[in-house]
Structure 1
Amino acid sequence: MTLPAAREVAPVDGDEEFRREVRDWLAANVTDELRGVGGPGRENEAYRQRLAFTRRLAAAGWTTLAWPVAHGGRGASLGRQIIFHEEYARSGAPSRVDHIGTTMVGPTLMALGTERQRHRFLPGIAAVDELWCQGYSEPGAGSDLAGVTTRARLHGDHWVITGQKVWTSLAQVADWCFMLARTEPVPDGGPRHAGLSYLLVPMRAPGITVRPIRQLTGDSEFNEVFFDDARADRDLVVGEPGQGWRVAMATLGFERGAATVGQQIGFQQDLEELIELARRTGAIADPMLRERLTRAWIDLSVLRSHTRRALSEPASTGTASVIKLLWSRWRQGLGELAMAVLGPAGAAAGPGDRDVERWWRLFLFSRADTIYGGSNEIQRGIVAERVLGLPRQNRR
């Protein structure tokens, strides 16, 4: 079963030569030891090797493909960004370790940071010399970011930060954290997000404790991070103090770009391998299971076409939320489908069966897909309020 081609961004002269350039580089650099390593729920796999590979990508100019030339990137068109992510996924190249810096922090600083901040941080992000984590979620404020309670106060030339973040991906290896903290009280009758600031915090500073969270998969890519009078320089606020909400929303917008297409190529590969497993085990003879596999194939086709269309047209309110709802539910359903294909015998297989463990891991980690990156409940609220015009929920 092969998925039909999704709607393409209009090609331009030179795109096929560019595709060959990408393929040739990946063929020369992706070794068997790196192929398919890492990814959601598997970020601990071969970390040092993946870091070294990502730095090779950076040296060749691939990590900052979408960055403007003025900031050290290639200034690639959307079409070429999509080509790169497609070929990267098809090559089986390992999961990169720089995505938070290159796709989130870097573009945010280009758009809203000071010249000094861009000069200080962009070269390290581009070279993958400094790694980043995101300090948004807290024990009492997950997708509803306006409820963050971590506080920062100015004391001389420093912000002094006290509070806790949780579910902080890759904090255990990060050099820096971009975070939302409350620097001013909520004004009477004003919006809850007023008074938040967007700070850049060195993760090696005194007063910061990182505690890995052991997941169902056995990995610990998520963390709790405690700030006990930790300090960041006064000029490490992006935008104006108290206006961090606008900066944080810009960062989330940068996150959901052309890389989504590469993610969906990975989904396609997972589905095709699951179909092959069903054929090999004979599970595909079950008509109900066959129908579920067909439905997954159709839904992924729709998801890919919708994403391509959304990326090639001007951004509209709610688009990112709709895409998040679609892909998270689809991948969670794929995990459940994998368990059905394995059946009782596969589910009861002992440790050491790498083929079976791969599907276990996908199933277990996919339980989080509808939570991280903005829970599906919050995404539905965004669509309801901002697209459909329904009454706003009272979250006080």
Structure 2
Amino acid sequence: MRYMATYDLMETVRNTNQWLGATAQAIGSYPWTGLMPTPFFRLLAAWGEVTERSFSRMVAKPDWGITSVLAEDGRDHLVAVEPVVMKAFGDLVHFKAIGRPERARKVMLVAPMSGHYATLLRSTVASLLPDCEVYVTDWHNARDIPVSAGKFDIEDYTLYLVEFMRHLGPDIHVIAVCQPAPLALAATAWLAEREPAAQPRTLTLIGGPIDPDAAPTEVTDFGRRVTMGQLEEMVIQQVGFKYAGAGRMVYPGLLQLASFMSMNADRHGEAFLNQILRVAKGEASDHDKHNRFYDEYLAVMDMTAEFYLSTVERIFKRREIARNAFTIRGEPVNIGAITDVAVKIVEGEKDDISAPGQCLAALDLLTGLPEEKKAHHLEPGAGHYGIFAGRSWRDNIRPLVLGFIDANGGPRGVRPEPGPRAQEASDAEARSRDAGAPA
């Protein structure tokens, strides 16, 4: 019961701060405050507005906000987000451009389940939509899933990916971002051994911890210092009475957000102070840079306890993927069984979460894959976020990934002639090599 009480205490603190912010905004906005020769009330209203907005975003799932896409016919086509596979812990959704001819490239974007919603990949989706049919794994908030739905750990996550790939068919191109990279690799290996005809055409792994020990970071160091018993005691709680998942053991999003904020407390404090001053001066807007970032950053979701704990224990501590020792329901998953899926690795030179080398380790595990089907790109100067959603993604990595898809998108066993996209990728790879970055 103490875990449930702790969960509800966190929600009570959040709710109280949201109420205080709304109250301060209302008091500071009364017309009579304009008669007072002091900036106090304007600052009070600004503090209230920023505070209320921040704490209310913590329990709200952001909208995708992708309403249309421009096609070659010069028209803006409306975009509908349609679920194509619906499961208890997550859906596979399709961004369907209404009235636009179906694109030849069919991309399944595997979103992380690491405390934020799949909408974290909003800009990634928007950048791929003009050229691809885009499908995304849309994971659910564990607090909203009844206990009767059962458990959900990394084996279940991997089998979800297997089912999604199987549903979309063998012409799919999978792009896994950050946390799901090792599990997307495992899902592909599972299909390679058991249903080769259902394998994806290509697999692109972006900044994921295939081998956390290949390049230690603060994240991997934390995993070594803390025992599983300590971790479970410190961070696992029971969902409170307010939500449908009451009683489910979770790693709360609010707790993870607190740890995120504390890691860069000075920077976040300065950002919020500056935003309060901008609001007070009338220089802020509803969708300014601060609000666009923090509306997404503050929107957190709970993870099931078994998913979080099994990720730490099996991916980071035991290194089961790195050692090719991962099992699902007692059956071994042999990554070396992948022989016909082209695999590309993308890393950021300044990635401090999944440092360069962690994701690259996947290529050494692919012992059955010909070298010509392996590719690696290290983006100079890019951090973790930049390699899938920032300028580095838009300007350089996205063309490389699309070129890789085009170069390996033909019938299995047949290498197609390089088209314009492939040539674009080749030129970009050459520029990277000239700049000193491994291709």
Relative to the length of structure 2, the TM-score reads 0.22
Higher RCO, 1 or 2 (CA under 8 Å, sep at least 6)? 2
**Higher-Rg member (1/2):** 2
Relative to the length of structure 1, the TM-score reads 0.24
